[in-house]
Each structure stands twice: as structure tokens, then as C-alpha cells.
Amino acid sequence: MEEPVLFERSVSGRRGVSPAEHDVPVTDVSALIPERFLRSQGEEAETTYDPMLPEVSELEVVRHYTRLSQWNFGVDTGFYPLGSCTMKYNPKINEDIARLDGFTTIHPYLDESLTQGALKLMYELEGYLAEITGMEAITLQPSAGAHGELCGLLMISKCLKARGEHRTKVLIPDTAHGTNPASSHLAGFKVVQIESGADGCITLDSIKEAMDTDVAALMLTNPNTLGLFEHDIVEIAEIVHERGGFVFCDGANMNALMGLVRLGELGVDVVQLNLHKTFSTPHGGGGPGSGPVGVGAELAPYLPTPRIKKESGIKREGESYSFEYDRPDSIGRLKAFYGNFAIMVRAYGYIRRCGPVGLRRVSETAILNANYIKQRLKSTFDLPYDDKPCMHEAVFSDTGLKETGVNTMDVAKRLIDYGIHPPTVYFPMVVGGAIMVEPTETESKAELDDFIAAMEAIAEEAKEKPELLRNAPFTTKVSRVDETRAARVPKLKWMPKDHMTAFD
């Protein structure tokens, strides 16, 4: 578990490669490269430093990075029940498809006649996502979920201006995703928080009271962050529409709805999706992501440009695809080129492989797994909302552990010792000491049983030896840390001190 930075393994003269003797004449590069870009050398040079690269053998490099990889946790190595994030296993076949030469060697600046396959794939993917969500049209341009939220809100804003209306507020329930308020502010709206009811869902009365002519939209997450389906969504949408507003559904939890619910048929006007959560792209690696946005008919003219259009028998025999830029009502471009194409390829492969029946089964199994955990653990951990089934995730709290002095963070840290990545903790904030568990559909019953056994064992440890939990984990390179201090006073170390003189 002790591995120094690679620079500390460096030994002068050590090499990791043995390149063949070059067979081209030596050329003085100073004639080809401007002097300001050359590293100065020689006794008269102002600066004489090497490229600041470690000198190590191939074996040292391989072992170094292999050891570092063993300190990490990923869905390929164990259960990763990070709630509201859908950290599910993604079939490797979709990774292979995204790496096909025909997809990886094209460039956005190529003429449209040379990228017909890519354009067709994106056009068909838009159609699939429109069918899944029940929306009129889809844009694939946004880079991620929050980017999609901004896209939808900008379209709402422009549509309202076209109506001649100036509305300044967005209603957001306290069970919505945390990016919703930020996106609303960025789009120029003020946020009005709506408190959820006793059952964890927003009430008709709260919407009736808050919905006035200054409200542009209701932005709700469904299923919400408590893992509950907003059962009054149809009636809520009717109230919002009657008073001139739009209904924006955060579709980040679409993993619970595919094949079961078409949001457009419930009265939703805008929905953003996360291809890097629901549709087979590894999540949590820092990107890239993809956050397509679906809209109803009224907002379709405002979708970002360019749009992909399909023509028949015009440019060549059969079908052809092209980008359409002449859209006067559009909010404009949101991203360079058209979006993160490789993410779209993965989603296309996933949807085609699953098909309608498979996508429905994905959601049904995700819901079944979450309810299995909920039922098995509700007698061990406090369950704030237990009057109805959950959807894709179950939310517990540490209320029952308070008398032991053990809290949610202690439970999360101890789970690491059991080889399980901790679930989301302390969110949603409407639940004190929240423990949000999303098993997804890709985990087997045996894996769920192991997780349940670990949680039950930790609950017993909290009663018998709470000090153990307060000092966990014990199996990691670094145990309990001061997370606040680590964020504010980071210890950065990346090269030996003698290399730093070049930057003085």
C-alpha cells in the first residue's frame, strides 16, 4: 500500500524503452522551430533543465500504475450503490462498438457526404429517445445532465419572450436534484422551493399556492431523490399549464421509467436525460457525458442548432442526412460540433441490443432490486417513507443508531472494509442522516444479499463496539481523514524539489 510518486523512483540513466537506431539524418531543429520554443542548453544558456520526466524502467512503470489502480474502486471491481447516480455495470460490447474505426477516425469537419453513417446513427438515436420519453423532438448536443437542464430552461425563456411574457421564477421541490437550482439561476431565473408532503411527494395544494403568472416552470425530479414516483404529476402538470407555465422533468432517474412511463404523456414539456447514467456509458470517471433534451411541440422550434434532418432521393439515391442551421427561433449552439459522439454510439448500441422489451425489463429489475433492499433492511435502519414501494432507490436514515453515537458517515466508512463502495450519504437533505441506496438492475440477488448482510453486521457493530465504526475504514491506504481540511489545505506533491528550481 506504500507507493511513492514516480519521480521518487527515478534514477539517472535508467530507461524504460530501447528505441532502434534512427535511420534519418540529424537536423538542427533551431532552423525549423522558433527559438522561444526551444529548451536552452549549454554553459551560456539562461536555463538548463531537463524535460522533468522520471527515469524509470518498464517494470517500475507497470508496477507503479498497477498498484495505483488497485487503490481505486469501480463498478468492475465491486458493488457501487451510489444513490441517484445509477452506477451500473455497462456491457463491454458497447465499448467495442464505440471504438470501431468508422466511428473513431471521422472528424466533425469532414463533409457531410463522408459522415452519413454517423449522422444516421444520431438521427435514429434521437428517434429512439423520443419514443422512450414520449417527447416530440430531441437534441443530442448538451454535454451532460446539468448542461441539458440549462438547455431546456433557455428554450423555455425564449419561448416565453416570443409569447410576450416576462416570467422570472422556477418552482423546484426540495426533493429535486441539486443541479436544478444552479441551472435555473444560470438561466436567469429565481428559485422558489416547494416543500414535499408527508409522503415525500409534492402536493397539489403547494403547486396551486405557488403557481402564478410570474412562474416560468416547475422543475421536478421524477422519480424524486427519495426514490418515490410523483403520483400527482398529471394533475400538477394541468395546474402549471392552466397558468401558462412549463413542466420540466429532470430525467436523470430514467433508469426506473424506461418502457413503463412516457413522460410526454404525463404532461411534461421538457426532459433532460443522462446517457452516461441510464444508457451504457461509464459514470463517475469525470467525463465525457451526454445530456440529450427532449421537448414537446411548442418548444421544438427553439432546440439548439444545428438539427439533423433526413432527406430522401435529393443528394443521392436513397436516404441522406445533413445538418440544418436555418432555424431562426433556435437558442443557438450550446457546444462545439454536435455533442460527445462516442457516448451516443454507446447509447445507440445499448438501445438496439435491449430493444423495447429489454429496456422495460431493465427498469422493472432496477425497481425490484431497490424494493428488495428496502424490505430487507427497514427493520434494521430507519425508513422515513415506508407507506408505498420505492422506485430505483431506497432512502434510509441513521435515526435508529443515534443512541449508539454512530452516524451515517461511520456506516459509510465501515462499508469500505466490507469491500462495498458507500452509497450516497446525507442526501436528500429532507432526510436527516440519509443513506441513499440504488442497486440498479445489473446486481444479482446474491450481491444484494451480501450488501444486506454487511449493513446488518454494521448495525450490530454499532451497538456492541461503536468505537470501531468511528475509526473505520481499516483496510485502505488512508483511514479516516479530516475531509474539510483535506479540501481546504491539500497536500500536493508531484516532482522532486530539485526540479522545482526551473520554475522559480
Note whether 152 and 51 are same-domain residues.
Answer: no
Predicted local distance difference test score (pLDDT) of residue 40: 62
Distances (CA, A) of 332 to 36, 136, 151, 172, 327: 40, 19, 10, 26, 9
pLDDT at 296 > cutoff 70: yes
Q: Which of 4-8, 341-345, 393-397 comes out lowest in average pLDDT?
A: 4-8
Residue 399 lies in a domain: yes
Of 302, 326, 352, which residue constitutes the final position of a domain? Answer: 352
pLDDT band at 494 (very low <50, low <70, confident <90, very high): low
Which residue's entry shows cell 532552423?
31
The reply to whether 368 and 438 lie within a common domain is: yes
- The per-residue pLDDT for range 196-255, each reduced to its tens digit, is 999 999 999 999 999 999 999 999 999 999 999 999 999 999 999 999 999 999 999 999
pLDDT at 85 over 90: no
Which of 284, 319, 352 is a domain's end point? 352
Average pLDDT, the chain: 91
**Number of domains the chain is built from:** 3
**Sign, CA torsion 235/240/244/248:** negative
How far from 363 is each of 261, 393, 438, CA to CA, in Å? Answer: 10, 12, 12
Band (502; pLDDT cuts 50, 70, 90): very low
Question: What is the band of 1 on the pLDDT scale with cuts at 50, 70, 90?
Answer: confident
CATH number at residue 258: 3.40.640.10
Could you give the CA distance from residue 240 to residue 222 in angstroms, rounded to a whole number? 16
33 — pLDDT class (breaks 50, 70, 90): confident
Are 264 and 381 contained in the same domain? no
pLDDT digits (tens, 9 = 90+) for 348-358: 999 999 999 99
Is a pLDDT exceeding 80 seen at residue 394?
A: yes
- Kindly state whether residues 255 and 328 are assigned to the same domain: yes
Q: Poorest-confidence range of 140-144, 146-150, 476-480? A: 476-480
Residue 357 belongs to a domain:
no
Each residue's pLDDT tens digit, 157-201: 999 999 999 999 999 999 998 899 999 999 999 999 999 999 999
Average pLDDT estimate for 422-435: 95
The pTM of this model reads 0.89
79 found inside a domain: no
By the 10 Å C-beta count (0-12 exposed, 13-18 middle, 19+ buried), 11 is classed as exposed
Residue-wise DSSP of 64-111:
HHHHHHHT---TTTS---BTTS------HHHHHHHT-HHHHS--TTS-
Q: Are residues 424 and 494 in the same domain?
A: no
Do β-strands 270-272 and 293-295 pair in parallel, antiparallel, or remain unpaired? antiparallel
- How many residues are recorded in the chain? 504
Query: pLDDT class for 504, splitting at 50, 70, 90?
Result: very low
Same-domain pairing of 109 and 253: yes
Residue 437 in any domain: the answer is yes
* Same domain? 7 vs 97: no
Same domain, 101 and 195: yes
pLDDT attached to residue 253 = 94
Q: Is residue 409 part of a domain?
A: yes
Q: Is the pLDDT of residue 404 over 90?
A: yes
- CATH number where 420 lies: 3.90.1150.10
Helix, coil or strand: residue 422:
coil
What average pLDDT does range 24-32 have in this prediction? Answer: 79
Q: 230 and 346: one domain?
A: yes
Q: Identify whether residues 99 and 31 lie together within a single domain.
A: no
* Domain termination residue (choose one: 318, 352, 386): 352
Mean pLDDT, to the nearest integer, of 424-432?
A: 94
**Together in a domain, 485 and 468:** no
Mean pLDDT check: name the lowest of 86-90, 415-419, 452-456, 478-482. Answer: 478-482
Mean pLDDT to the nearest integer, 328-348: 93
Q: Is residue 85 part of a domain?
A: no
Residues 287-309 have a mean pLDDT of: 94
pLDDT at residue 481 in the model: 84
The pLDDT value recorded for residue 388 is 87
pLDDT at 441 > cutoff 90: yes
Task: Indicate the pLDDT class of residue 84, thresholds 50, 70 and 90.
Answer: confident
271 or 338: which leads in pLDDT? 271
Instruction: Specify the pLDDT at position 226.
Output: 95
Q: How confident is the model at residue 503 (pLDDT cuts 50, 70, 90)?
A: very low
Residue 44: what pLDDT? 52
Question: Do the beta carbons of residue 410 and residue 462 sit within 8 Å?
Answer: yes
* 271 and 165 fall within a common domain: yes
In this structure, which amino acid lies at residue 428?
P
Please report whether residue 82 resides in a domain. Answer: no
The confidence score (pLDDT) of residue 313 equals: 62
Angle between helices 408-417 and 445-464 (to 10 degrees): 120
**Structural domain contains residue 80:** no
Q: Which residues, at least 6 apart from 437, have a Cβ–Cβ distance to it below 8 Å?
A: 81, 83, 370, 373, 393, 394, 395, 396, 423, 451
pLDDT at 316: 54
Q: Is 142 helix (H, G, I), strand (E, B) or coil?
A: coil
Q: Does pLDDT of 318 surpass 80? A: no
Query: Does an H or E element contain 250, and which?
Result: strand 246-250
pLDDT at position 287 is: 67
Mean pLDDT computed over 96-125: 94
Q: Which residue has the higher pLDDT, 316 or 245?
A: 245
Q: Which domain holds residue 498?
A: 1-71+477-504
The pLDDT value given to residue 371: 98
